[in-house]
Amino acid sequence: MSPNLNKTLNHFTATKLASLISEAQCQPSDIIRDCFKRIKLRNPKVKAWKYINESKIEQQLDYLNQVKTLSPLSGIPMAIKDNFDTKDMPTEYGTSIYPGFRPQKDTEVIKILRNAGLIFLGKTITSEFAGPYPGPTLNPHALDRTPGVSSMGSAASVADFMVPISNGTQTGGSIIRPASLCGVFGYKGSFGHITGVGIKHLKPSIDTVGHFARCLEDIELLRQVLTNDLNSNSFISIKPPIRIGICKTSNWHAASIDTKIAIKKSIESLKTTDCILEEINLPPEFDKVMERSFQVIYSWELREAHKQEIKNHFESFNPWFKWAIRFLEDISFQDYQEALEEAEYTRSILKKIFREIDVIISPSAIGEAPKELMEIPKYSFNHLWTLMYVPCVNLPYFLGANGLPVGIQVIGPQNKDKQLLSYCNEIENKMKNYFGKLPVSTIS
């Protein structure tokens, strides 16, 4: 039976639900029942889900009942972004040219999750080929605003309490920005930290896997399951971050007043602790690599990943996709190679910066979710960090002038994902001690 609680099970975090299951206070089927109630109530408005089949869920539950506990997240429901192949559910990649497509096998990360005993409720909506182009999903906090792209459905489903956790991918800002706009925790792993093997249209030099949740403990536990890095503690015992860099980047002029106040309040709270804060001014190489190299790599690998679709369906694609391909008209293979080299050189500079600091704090997005559902922001606080291969986390700790989420982004050294999440936990504790509660209004 479900525990005698004031709220339904879909409101609990994955970590709490796992504890309830282990204590025999509820069953996975109880959690799924409450998730479905929420989905049926809210999804007609939010439009987060592409595919749900309750019979497939029953099959997963039957399997789970036949085996022992597979992982700490066994029996926990999860949403899957519709660019991950699933052998038992359609994968349409956010397009109209793969209607009802049934992959023969799971993407590797889906296989890992399935073997860990997670229950896939279904596939969430993504933009066409997970590109930076809006789709039908709306922001659950304000239905006249965007949830971000391209992991829009995954972020919105967690933010609206339809499911406790979901996964996503990021090429530019497709995890961190939706997490910020929807007010949830978002984690983009270091490049390759979570396997991308088997993702059909993978851009091999940029695409990165991550996930969404409503607490940091869930983010870390899911990371542990995905990387076979399980241990008894959610966060490793390390010293809290002492040296914190504040990096506004050259796009600071585009940040809204809400974002600027969120960064200011973050600095204010951390200054009262034993942290040492310093402003990080990135050298010119960082702007240079973003002026051209990022788009060269993105477009080149986009074209390579979609050769067949471009040949047969190019005219049916969205305007952004067409522009990204046409961008290559004057780009040579040598240009592509030089872009890769410039990106790698810039990463070497960032590694030197991280020798002097523990983490970087930067904006997650321009500000609150905009009303222009078709707008693609010109400026980004995400693309650079994706290209730098470093792990990033959105902390949803602020509310803007309209009462909508505004996140801050915490960035760590490449391949120090566990450390970064531990540092984020310490930052959360310090902010809670200072503000009393989170999130905090930027107008108070």
Is residue 424 a contact partner of residue 215, using CB atoms and an 8 Å limit? no
CA dihedral 373, 175, 58, 228 (to 10 degrees): 180
Residue-averaged pLDDT of the chain: 95
Looking at the predicted structure, is the pLDDT value of residue 234 above 70?
no
Give the mean model confidence (pLDDT) for residues 139-149. 97
Looking at the predicted structure, is the pLDDT value of residue 372 above 90?
no
d(CA 370, CA 372): 6
Angstrom distances, CA of residue 283 to CA of 289, 408, 413: 11, 22, 17
**For the chain, how big is the Rg over CA atoms in Å?**
21
Looking at the predicted structure, is the pLDDT value of residue 70 above 90?
no
SS3 assignment, position 180: helix
The residue ranking higher by pLDDT, 108 or 53, is 108
Is residue 196 a contact partner of residue 207, using CB atoms and an 8 Å limit? yes
CA-wise closest residue to 246 among 217, 271, 225: 271
Taking the whole predicted model, whether its pTM rises above 0.85 is answered as yes
Give the mean model confidence (pLDDT) for residues 215-239. 84
408: burial class by Cβ within 10 Å (0-12, 13-18, 19+)?
Answer: buried
- Give the model confidence (pLDDT) of 270-291 as tens digits: 999 989 999 999 999 999 999 9
Lowest mean pLDDT among 1-15, 65-79, 138-152, 263-277: 1-15
The kind and range of the H/E element at 225 are helix 216-227
d(CA 165, CA 186): 10
Is residue 159 a contact partner of residue 6, using CB atoms and an 8 Å limit? no
CA-wise closest residue to 108 among 17, 7, 197, 208: 197
In order, the DSSP letters of 369-384 are: PPS-TT---SS-SSHH
d(CA 122, CA 181): 22
Domains in the chain: boundaries: 9-227
SS3 assignment, position 207: coil
Give the mean model confidence (pLDDT) for residues 8-19. 97
List residues with catalytic annotation.
81, 150, 174
Looking at the predicted structure, is the pLDDT value of residue 42 above 90?
yes
Q: What is the pLDDT of residue 269?
A: 97
Q: What is the pLDDT of residue 379?
A: 83
Q: What is the pLDDT of residue 238?
A: 66
The kind and range of the H/E element at 114 are helix 108-115
Looking at the predicted structure, is the pLDDT value of residue 1 above 60?
no
Give the mean model confidence (pLDDT) for residues 355-381. 91
Percent of the chain beyond pLDDT 70?
A: 97
Q: What is the pLDDT of residue 236?
A: 63
Q: What is the pLDDT of residue 373?
A: 82
Q: What is the pLDDT of residue 163?
A: 98
The kind and range of the H/E element at 406 are strand 405-411
Q: Match 């659950």 to its residue by tokens.
A: 140
Evaluate the omega torsion of the peptide bond into residue 439 and state whether it is cis, within 30 degrees of 0.
yes
Backbone angles phi, psi at 260, to 5 degrees: -65, -40
Per the structure block, which two tokens stand in for 400?
């803007």
Looking at the predicted structure, is the pLDDT value of residue 3 above 50?
no
Q: What is the pLDDT of residue 94?
A: 96
CATH numeric code, 9-227: 3.90.1300.10
